[in-house]
Amino acid sequence: MTESAPNSPPAPRTPAGGAGLAALLTAPERALIALDYDGTLAPIVPRPSDAVPAPGAMDALRRISHEIGTLAIITGRPVDSLLELTGLEKIPDFGNLIILGQYGLQRWDSGSRAISSPEPLPGVAAVRAALPELLRDAPVGTAVEDKHQALVVHVRRTADPDSALAALTPALTALAEDHGMEAAPGKRVLELRPPGHDKGGALRRLIAACQARSVLVAGDDYGDLPAFEAVDELRAGGLPGITVCSDSPEVPDVIRERADLVVGGPPGMVALLEVLVERLSG
Ligand SMILES: O=P(O)(O)OC[C@H]1O[C@H](O[C@H]2O[C@H](CO)[C@@H](O)[C@H](O)[C@H]2O)[C@H](O)[C@@H](O)[C@@H]1O
């Protein structure tokens, strides 16, 4: 993070990012802040079911939800998993928040508190049925996360996750494609998911729906790249924006290198949200 005056947001390292942050601070009521969950608001842990928010994250989110036009979490997770891990529904006094789950397939908002979710593609059931046989000889520690609309093969708990992922990827990709799905890489996972849904499309639709005039996007993994690319395109079309990388040794170089601002993992993200709250509420 670039040094800046106390209680000022850190200075982005690009002029376009600086313009995006300035636009957000000048007209926060027309701004969208769209955050990833795993690796950005919650530290990466061995088991997905243990990924709770970083200390202070929920309070920072609650506070900033009152200072800006729209706050969103755009995640690969199912909405119900995110609600459970964050305890969001039990936090009183949360402002305007939208959750787009499973890369935009699912939606929840703090007004209706209802989850909208399409029926899974038929290919999901076929992939689910084929996985046990395909993974029969996979390294010990390989695990499947069933997200109903998609399946995720996790290798983080194997002895050599990189080798395990490299060995499994060709067969898993073929399986997904045979059933009209796509295989998408993540941190020590391969997601087998419906094609045509990514965080870029989800972000563009959200910006149009909330008529945002500026955007801040934060992420840490390949799944966030389409959202970063969308910010570039939006900027070219005249909408200011800033991309933030929640850094850690596992972050893909492409995310770290193209971000306008790099913060130190989920604790750094919480610190950024807190300084934005201070600035906007002051
Ligand atoms: O878009 P996100 O909110 O970042 O979600 C992407 C995937 O994150 C989860 O997996 C990652 O976090 C796990 C818990 O820390 C970790 O064990 C795993 O290795 C990471 O890849 C989640 O389990 C997936 O369903 C999400 O799609």
Give the model confidence (pLDDT) of 161-177 as tens digits.
Answer: 999 999 999 999 999 99
Reported as a pLDDT band with limits 50, 70 and 90, residue 3 is low
Pick the residue with more confidence: 200 or 3? Answer: 200
The alpha carbon of 94 and the centre of ligand 1 are apart by a number of angstroms equal to 24
Give the model confidence (pLDDT) of 256-277 as tens digits.
Answer: 999 999 999 999 999 999 999 9
Q: Angle of helix 122-134 relative to helix 161-178, nearest 10 degrees?
A: 140
Residues 6+ positions from 77 with CB-CB distance below 8 Å: 37, 38, 48, 101, 102, 147
Is 188 a pocket residue for ligand 1 (Cβ < 6 Å)? Answer: yes
Give the model confidence (pLDDT) of 175-208 as tens digits.
Answer: 999 999 999 999 999 999 999 999 999 999 999 9
The alpha carbon of 38 and the centre of ligand 1 are apart by a number of angstroms equal to 5
For the full predicted model, state whether its pTM sits above 0.90: yes
Domain boundaries, the chain: 15-118+197-281, 122-193
Which CATH code for domain 122-193? 3.30.70.1020
Closest C-alpha among 64, 42, 66 to residue 53: 42
Q: Which protein residue's CA is at the shortest distance from atom 13 of ligand 1?
A: 48
Q: Which protein residue's CA is at the shortest distance from atom 8 of ligand 1?
A: 38
Give the DSSP per-residue string, the chain. Answer: -----TTSPPPPSSHHHHHHHHHHHH-GGGEEEEE-SBTTTB---SSGGG-PPPTTHHHHHHHHHTTSSEEEEE-SS-HHHHHHHHTGGG-TT--SEEEEEGGGTEEEETTT--EE-PPPPHHHHHHHHHHHHHTTTSPTT-EEEE-SS-EEEE-TTSSSHHHHHHHHHHHHHHHHHHTT-EEEEETTEEEEE-TT--HHHHHHHHHHHHT-SEEEEEE-SGGGHHHHHHHHHHHHTT--EEEEEE--TTS-HHHHHH-SEEE-HHHHHHHHHHHHHHHHH-
Q: Which protein residue's CA is at the shortest distance from atom 25 of ligand 1?
A: 77
The alpha carbon of 4 and the centre of ligand 1 are apart by a number of angstroms equal to 32
Q: What is the pLDDT of residue 5?
A: 59
Tell me which amino acid residue 38 is: D
Residues 149 and 105 sit within 8 Å (Cβ to Cβ):
yes
The alpha carbon of 6 and the centre of ligand 1 are apart by a number of angstroms equal to 33
**Closest atom of ligand 1 to CA, residue 42:** 15
User: In whole numbers, what is the pLDDT of the chain averaged over residues?
Assistant: 96
Is 75 a pocket residue for ligand 1 (Cβ < 6 Å)? Answer: yes
Q: What is the pLDDT of residue 10?
A: 92
The alpha carbon of 15 and the centre of ligand 1 are apart by a number of angstroms equal to 31
Is 156 a pocket residue for ligand 1 (Cβ < 6 Å)? Answer: yes
Measured distance CA(146)–CA(161) in Å, rounded: 20
Average of per-residue pLDDT across 6-35: 94
Tell which one of 35, 36, 38 to mutate to probe ligand 1, the residue whose CB is within 8 A of the most ligand atoms.
38
Residues 138 and 170 sit within 8 Å (Cβ to Cβ):
no
β-pairing, 143-146 vs 151-154, is: antiparallel
CATH topology for the 15-118+197-281 domain:
Rossmann fold (3.40.50)
Is 235 a pocket residue for ligand 1 (Cβ < 6 Å)? Answer: no
Q: Which protein residue's CA is at the shortest distance from atom 27 of ligand 1?
A: 76
**Closest atom of ligand 1 to CA, residue 156:** 19
Is 198 a pocket residue for ligand 1 (Cβ < 6 Å)? Answer: no
Instruction: Look up the ipTM and state it.
Output: 0.99
Give the position of tokens 């906007």.
Answer: 280
Residues 35 and 74 sit within 8 Å (Cβ to Cβ):
yes
Token pair listed for 40: 């950005």
Average of per-residue pLDDT across 218-240: 98
Q: Which protein residue's CA is at the shortest distance from atom 5 of ligand 1?
A: 76
The alpha carbon of 217 and the centre of ligand 1 are apart by a number of angstroms equal to 17
